[in-house]
Amino acid sequence: MANLIWIGSIACVGWLTAAAARQEDAGRGRVVAEMAYGLYRRVAVPAFIASFLCGGLRLALDAGTYMRLHWFHGKLTFALVVIALHHVIGGKARRAASGSMQAGKSSAILVGALLACAFGSVVFVIFKTQLVP
């Protein structure tokens, strides 16, 4: 559940940040950017923390087994990219909320990359038996 809330909310943060940058009225753009940053702080970050803790706990329960599974390396790579993009999008939302209208210019592209990597992570889990020789 935390993953669903996390990915959905961080995607919305990126889209709102991009929408703030497209606003012709600077005041309206700032309001949208503040909404994006509020969503980031109040929803995306807590969901990320819950997701990260649950994933870390699951990994800690049997790390040796996971490290021997070939599909896990692909999933982990995609998951680490999603985590990095979460922080980049959050930083852009913070800068946009503080008045930078340039911060949101590439946010939509970053959201696309985030969603593609989240999808890639899911593919490795669902098709794990087909991906391993």
The tens digit of pLDDT for each residue in 6-38 reads 999 999 999 999 999 888 888 898 999 999 999
Count the Cβ atoms, other than its own, within 10 Å of residue 6: 24
> Whole-angstrom Cα distance, residue 21 to residue 26?
9
> Directed axis angle between helix 26-39 and helix 2-22, to 10°?
170
Residues 6+ apart with CB under 8 A from 1: none
Question: What is the token pair recorded at 54?
Answer: 């649950």
Q: Among candidates 121, 100, 98, 126, which has minimal Cα distance to 7? A: 121
pLDDT score, position 130: 82
- pTM of the predicted model as reported, rounded to 2 decimal places: 0.91
Assess contact for 34 and 104: CB atoms under 8 A.
Answer: no
